[in-house]
Structure 1
Amino acid sequence: MKWFARVIAVVVIVALAFYAFLFIRPGQTVPKETAPVPHFSHVFVIMMENHSLDAMSPKEAPYIHQLVARYGYDSNYYGVTHVSLPNYVALLSGSTHHTHSDNPDQTFSGPTLVSEMDQHHISWQAVMESLPAAGYTGNWYPEAPGTNPVLMPKNALYGKKHNPFMLFPSLAEPDKTQVVPLRTLNQELTRGQVPDFVWITPNLCNDMHGQPIGSAACPSNQPQKLVAMGDQFLSKMVPEIMHSPAWTGHSVIFITWDEAQMPTKTVNLATWKRWLSAGPGAPRILGIPVGGGSVPLIVIANGVSKPRHLNIWADHYNLLKTIESGFGLPYIGHAASAQVAPLTPFLIPSK
């Protein structure tokens, strides 16, 4: 049996070498910070789901492609890992906490971006579309009682796995009134009374995730419909923010996607590369980075009018570090790594 073990070892080594050849880009460097991140007036983060830019055609996503052409866009940005939930947790806390599960019954501890904000008296709000009420603790809404928590009910619109704020008990109880439905933000934008930091999670139709196959609203096996619905959501949400009294000073909107979509029908080297490519903060398996794949990062910064299409090697930890830097907060988790640089070039006002 020794020969069999040797054959397996050789196969594993060859497979890892092949993976490294395909997915690790040579010469990746950390961008040098040429200027400090401007102090933010307001930050809006909109988290979408499961798409690379090349999976969203201009026909189904005209508004997204308009944003890419007009504002900041990072062509070298990645999700941290797979599946969805760890990416949300990573962006909020600087760590995946070693989970690769979408189970919404998981809980996590430790510092988060918003616990830092609480300590430094910076106001924040987590906005969840289709959340039935502030501080709702259910895994889904509408929720099917007694079902496996990982399995999405057929008509669910809200999923706790896309709401990392309710996965940290230290936040979920004392700050539950700061986790609110989208209608609350709509009212605040009209009045101009908006927290300093706002995280927005669209519902399961509008974030491009989709409901189970067979649902009437947005089944996950209709990707063109999902992309169009997400595009329509952004085409309403982004102008609403930018035309509100809150859009002043150094305000910024970051739009990104949690992870790349898993290859399905067309499986080739390009699709696997898109799905597994990694940024600087990706976890490693046998020393090889395994990331969440190539996803868009769109940066709309008030005062930065010229489009900036940059190739900054980055992932969700870079975005976290950028937000912390703009609010003068200490870096937590992997955001503290020297490999992870702030996204400063997108934020310097035009001269």
Structure 2
Amino acid sequence: MALFSLCSSESSAQDRSGSIPIVNLMSEDESIMALRWVGRLIVGLIGLAILFVLVLKVILGPQFQKPVVQLARPRLPYFSHVVVITMENHGDKILSNNPQAKYINQLMNTWGFDTNYFGVTHVSLPNYVALLSGSTGGTHSDSPLQRFHQMSLPQELNQAKISWQAVMESIPSPGFNGNWYPDHLSKNTAPIVPPPDALYAKKHNPFALFPALNKSRPDHTINLTQFRHELASGHIAQFTWITPNLCHDMHGQASGPGASCPTSNPTLLIENGNHFLQQLIPEIIHSPGWNSHSVIFLTWDETNDPTNFLSPTDLRAYLAPGPEAPVIPVADIAIGGGKVPLLVLYGRHPHPLRVNLWADHYSVLKTIEDSWDLPYLGHAQDADVPVLTPFFSEKKTSSTR
């Protein structure tokens, strides 16, 4: 039966007389069959999705049992300075004992190290937003076109008159609003497509995606060169967030002309990130403003992609959750960002301390808010999100005070 059928000769005659031709795309029977086919396709896709979720639950289920934790608000010391350094896409499994990450391993063995710390989810941007606001904003996208309107830590700091700044290593100027820099791609290129030579990425700068922050003080965002001048003078903000550029945060650039650190060279990415931290962290802890109540939180947004997505072991590691990871409602499965390092360099405790505290980026936010007596934002309010008390306890134990 033909897909297209013309009207009757009477209609054709009317068409020739000047009226608009009418074409029946399908007969009534064909239309019904097509609707049935579409319906079956939709039902089939839903069935496959449910089957996938159920298989995922079988593979991941045992790891997703959340402990019941009741935490009273502890009394942490008042931090004179907080520096948060966010790296990219590497879990503690790939970094621990890695010869390309010697300095990072030195930090693991000489300062505080949480061996049970997780990214909130995948991909990168939701983790940055979560750390800054206590919520992913419902996103699982890296698009720099997104905007977030929930309350954020910098807004709390403004209200409390606590100084803050965001350091984006290669941003060309304060308040720069481009998605990438440098960017030599056509203006018609989709914003999510990275230029091969780009160093700055807006998707790694959550401050630019909160309109309330851009509206108030866009000059709070500076590049690393300016930060180093401030560091040497002993005058830095009480809260500083540092995002290295794509060649130094272990993310890497897209392959193509001008790329000096392509994602296809993972060894180089780890070496570059390790070298960057080896230069920057001593500058911070030996600067005039650093004191015994200053702290650095060094972490990675999410773990690296699994070697084999079809391996249940690799998939479990990739999706392993921390507290309050996003949940697939149908099967009540938490989809986390995998285990990543959290290093805590606290001036008062310059000694090795390994802690096995189930935590994620919400815990860093909660710890900062606790020290400065700020309201807990978003999931930082939740009982199963712990404050990182063991790293600041005088007794050097894993218990809260």
Give TM-score scaled by structure 1 length: 0.93
- Note the 1:167-246 alignment, pairs <5 A: 167-214=209-256, 215-246=258-289
Equivalent residue in structure 1 for 2:354, among 292, 306, 309? 309
| TM superposition shift of 1:165 | 0.4
CA contact (8 A) 2:308 2:314 kept: no
| TM superposition shift of 1:277 | 0.4
| TM superposition shift of 1:175 | 1.3
Match of 2:14 in 1: none
| TM superposition shift of 1:10 | 8.1
CA contact (8 A) 2:61 2:333 kept: no
| TM superposition shift of 1:84 | 0.6
Match of 2:86 in 1: 47
- In structure 2, what residue type is equivalent to 1:156? A
1:157 aligns to 2:199 (yes or no): yes
> C-alpha deviations, 1:6-64, integer Å up to 9, x for none?
9869845741431333532x573538569522111000000000000221243100000
CA contact (8 A) 1:306 1:350 kept: no
Matched positions, count: 349
- In structure 1, what residue type is equivalent to 2:85? I
Q: Secondary structure at the match of 2:109?
A: helix
Gaps in structure 1 of 5+ consecutive residues: none
CA contact (8 A) 1:37 1:342 kept: no
1:79 aligns to 2:119 (yes or no): yes
Gaps in structure 2 of 5+ consecutive residues: 1-39, 397-401
| TM superposition shift of 1:308 | 1.3
Give TM-score scaled by structure 2 length: 0.82
CA shift in 2, pair 1:17/1:231, >3 Å: same
Equivalent residue in structure 2 for 1:97, among 137, 149, 167? 137
| TM superposition shift of 1:267 | 5.7
Equivalent residue in structure 1 for 2:378, among 328, 333, 345? 333
1:113 aligns to 2:158 (yes or no): no
CA contact (8 A) 2:304 2:318 kept: yes
Larger radius of gyration: 2
Identity fraction in percent: 48
Match of 2:369 in 1: 324
Query: d(CA) in 1 for partners of 2:51 and 2:227?
Result: 54
CA contact (8 A) 2:71 2:384 kept: no
Q: Which has the higher contact order (CA 8 A, sep 6+)?
A: 1
| TM superposition shift of 1:259 | 0.6
Query: d(CA) in 1 for partners of 2:188 and 2:137?
Result: 27
1:146 aligns to 2:212 (yes or no): no
Moved over 4 A (4+): 3-10, 31-35
Match of 1:343 in 2: 388
CA contact (8 A) 1:107 1:167 kept: yes
Query: d(CA) in 2 for partners of 1:251 and 1:72?
Result: 14
Query: d(CA) in 2 for partners of 1:9 and 1:91?
Result: 30
RMSD of aligned C-alpha atoms?
A: 2.2
Match of 2:399 in 1: none
- In structure 1, what residue type is equivalent to 2:291? T
Equivalent residue in structure 2 for 1:249, among 285, 289, 292? 292
Query: d(CA) in 2 for partners of 1:114 and 1:27?
Result: 30
CA contact (8 A) 2:323 2:385 kept: yes
Query: d(CA) in 2 for partners of 1:320 and 1:254?
Result: 10
CA contact (8 A) 1:44 1:254 kept: yes
> C-alpha deviations, 1:77-107, integer Å up to 9, x for none?
1111111111111111111111111100111
Query: d(CA) in 1 for partners of 2:54 and 2:213?
Result: 45
CA contact (8 A) 2:90 2:303 kept: yes
Give the stretch that moved more between structures: 270-279 or 148-157.
Answer: 270-279
